DNA sequence: GTCTATAGCGAGATAGAC
DNA sequence: GTCTATCTCGCTATAGAC
C-alpha cells in the first residue's frame, strides 16, 4: 500500500482531493490523458500543483484512481439482475440501464476510449468490467442463441456498439442531427430507436427458436 | 501554401518521407498523438529526427497529412454508388465495403477515435467524411424510413456502430472471444453476424413499408 | 494540508555544415 | 536531402518552509 493510498483511506472526501478528481475527469475526457498536464488540472481545480502529488503520488496514479471509481460505479449500475419478466422485457431493461449509466457518466466513455488506444495497464480493469456486462447478456440471450455468427458474444458486442457509438460520435454528429445530439429530445429519440432495434433483433431470434417464448 | 506542402508536391513518394508517414501511422494508432514523441517516430522510421520537420514542418502537420490520406482513401472506398440490385442487396454491399476498408486500414479507426476525444481541427475532416457515408445510407434507406426514431440518421449511426465497435474493442475482446478477435475466422464470423443483423433490420423496415419491395 | 521554489529531464523545433 | 549540435520551453516530480 503506497503512502498516497493510505492518505486516501484516511482522508476520503477531502475537499481539495475531490476538486482535483473532478477537474481531472473533465480534462482527461476532453483531451485525453497524455494531452493534459498537471498544471492544467491544478488550475481548473483551483488548488496548488504540488497537492496533486501529495494526494495521488503521480499523474498516472490519478488516472488509476479515476478509472477505479468509474469501474465500481459501472459494476454497481449493472448489479440488479432483473430476474423477472420475459426475455424481451429484461433485455429492454438492460439496455435502458446501460443508457442511463452512459448519460449520467459522460466522461467515462471518453476516458475508456482513450485507454483503449494506449496500451496501458488500465485495460485489465476494463476487461473485468466487460466480463460483468457480458455475463448479464449471456444470462438473457444464452438459451436462445447458438454457435458461430449467432453466438451470444456477437449480440453482446452489437448491443454495446449500438449504445456506445452515439455518445462516442456525438462531437461530430451535429452536422447530421438538428441541434445538439445530446439534448434531451435527441437522446429520447435515440432511446426509442434502440428499443426498436432490440425488438427487431429479438423478433429474429424468436424465428430461430419457435419453441421458446421470448415475449 | 507552406514550404513543406510545396516540397510534398514535388517530392511525393520520397523514401524517407514515406518511412516517416508509415512509422507515425503505427505509433499514433498504438498510443495516440500526444503520447508519441518526434523522437519515437524518427527512431521507428530509421531516419534523422530533423527530417520530420523538413518534410512536415511540425508534429501536428504530420498528423494532418496522415488524416488527409486516410480520409481520401475512405472517400474513394465509398465511391462506387452501387446503383443496381434491390435495397437489400445494396445495403449488404455497403456494409461489406465498409468492413473491407476497416480491415485494410486498421490504424485509421484508432487515430479517428483519438481525434474524437481531443477537440482539434482534425474533426472538421472527420465531419465531411461522415457526411459522405451518411449520403450513401440516405440514398438507400431514405425512401423506406420515416421521422423521429426511425429516421435514416438513426440507422446510419447504428450501422456504423455495429461495424466499428468490434474493431474498436478488439484489444480487450480476447477475454470473451477464443483467440485473437482479428483472426481470419473470427473476422468472418463477425461479418456473418453483421449481415444477419442487416437482414433483421430490413425485415423490420419491410413490415413498416408493406407497399415497398425492399428485397 | 498547503504553499514557493526549483531540480532535472525530455519535448518540439531551428541553425547550419555537408 | 541528411546530418550534428543546440536552443528554449514546459513537463513531472521533489524539497522544504509555514
- For B41-87, how does the pLDDT look when each residue is reduced to its tens digit (9 = 90+)? 999 999 999 999 999 999 999 999 999 999 899 888 887 766 789 99
The per-residue pLDDT for B3 is 61
Burial class of residue B185 in the structure, from the number of CB atoms within 10 Å of its CB (0-12 exposed, 13-18 middle, 19+ buried): exposed
Give the pLDDT mean for A43-61: 97
Top-tier CATH class for B3-57: mainly alpha
Show residues of chain A in contact with B33, CB under 8 Å.
Answer: 35
Confidence bin at A208 (pLDDT 50/70/90): very high
What pLDDT is attached to residue A165?
A: 98
What pLDDT, on the 0 to 100 scale, is given for residue B8? 63
Give chain C positions with protein CB within 7 A: 1-5, 10-16
The band of B117, judged by pLDDT with boundaries at 50, 70 and 90, is: confident
Residue A66 and residue A52 in contact, taking contact as beta carbons nearer than 8 Å: no
Q: CA–C1' distance B73–C16 (Å)?
A: 39
> Which grid cell is B127?
465531419
Question: CA at B64, C1' at C14: how many angstroms apart?
Answer: 21
Q: Of the candidates B130, B67, B133, which has an alpha carbon nearest to the alpha carbon of residue A168?
A: B130
With H, G, I as helix, E, B as strand and everything else as coil, classify residue A51.
helix
Residue B13 pLDDT exceeds 80 = no
Domain spans in chain A, listed from the N-terminal domain onward: 3-57, 66-208
Is A82's pLDDT higher than 70?
A: no
Overall residue count recorded for chain A in this entry: 215
pLDDT band (50, 70, 90) for residue A7 = low
Output the pLDDT for position B60. 94
Which positions ≥6 away from B73 have C-beta within 8 Å? B101, B105, B108
Give residue A77's pLDDT.
87
Mean pLDDT over each residue of chain B, to the nearest integer: 91
Yes or no, beta carbons of B117 and A30 under 8 Å apart? yes
Looking at the domain covering A66-208, what would its CATH class be? mainly alpha
- Which pLDDT band holds residue A162 (cuts at 50, 70, 90)? very high
- Share the mean pLDDT of chain A: 91
Provide the percentage of residues in chain B whose pLDDT is more than 90.
73
Per-residue pLDDT at B123: 82
Closest of B97, B178, B101 to residue B140, by C-alpha: B97
- What stretches of chain B adopt beta strand conformation (E)? none
Is the pLDDT assigned to residue B9 strictly greater than 60? no
Counting residues of chain B whose pLDDT is more than 70, the rounded percentage is 93
Position A121 scores a pLDDT of 73
User: d(Cα B22, Cα A84) in Å, to the nearest integer?
Assistant: 54
* φ, ψ for residue B35, nearest 5 deg: -85, 0
* Ranges A50-54, A81-85, A131-135, A158-162: which has the least confidence: A81-85
The closest CB to that of B134, out of A32, A131, A176, belongs to A176
Taking CA–CA distances from A158, the nearest residue in chain B reads: B162
- Section A133-143 average pLDDT: 94
Which strand D nucleotides have any atom less than 7 A from protein CB atoms? 1-5, 10-16
Whole-Å CA distances, B161 to A168, A210, B6, B93, B154 = 9, 29, 38, 17, 11
Q: Work out if A57's Cβ lies within 7 angstroms of strand D.
A: yes
Grid coordinates in use for A64? 488509476
Q: Which nucleotide is nearest to B10 (CA to C1')?
A: D1
The Cα B95–Cα B115 span in angstroms is: 24
Q: Report residue A3's pLDDT band, with 50, 70 and 90 as the boundaries.
A: low
Amino acid at each position: 500500500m503506497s503512502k498516497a493510498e493510505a492518505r486516501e483511506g484516511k482522508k476520503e472526501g477531502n475537499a481539495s482531493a475531490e476538486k482535483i478528481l473532478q477537474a481531472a475527469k473533465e480534462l482527461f475526457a476532453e483531451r485525453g490523458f497524455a494531452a493534459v498536464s498537471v498544471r492544467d488540472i491544478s488550475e481548473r481545480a483551483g488548488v496548488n500543483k504540488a497537492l496533486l502529488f501529495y494526494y495521488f503520488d503521480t499523474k498516472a496514479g490519478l488516472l488509476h484512481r479515476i478509472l477505479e471509481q468509474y469501474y465500481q460505479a459501472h459494476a454497481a449500475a449493472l448489479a440488479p439482475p432483473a430476474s423477472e419478466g420475459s426475455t424481451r422485457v429484461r433485455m429492454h431493461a438492460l439496455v435502458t440501464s446501460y443508457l442511463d449509466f452512459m448519460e449520467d457518466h459522460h466522461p467515462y466513455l471518453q476516458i475508456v476510449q482513450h485507454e483503449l488506444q494506449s496500451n496501458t495497464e488500465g485495460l485489465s480493469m476494463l476487461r473485468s468490467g466487460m466480463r460483468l456486462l457480458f455475463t448479464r447478456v449471456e444470462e438473457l440471450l444464452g438459451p436462445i442463441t447458438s454457435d458461430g455468427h449467432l453466438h451470444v458474444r456477437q449480440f453482446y458486442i452489437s448491443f454495446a456498439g449500438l449504445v456506445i457509438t452515439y455518445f462516442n460520435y456525438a462531437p461530430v454528429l451535429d452536422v447530421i442531427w438538428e441541434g445538439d445530439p445530446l439534448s434531451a429530445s435527441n437522446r429520447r429519440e435515440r432511446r426509442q430507436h434502440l428499443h426498436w432495434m432490440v425488438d427487431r433483433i429479438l423478433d429474429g431470434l424468436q424465428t430461430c427458436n419457435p419453441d421458446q417464448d421470448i415475449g
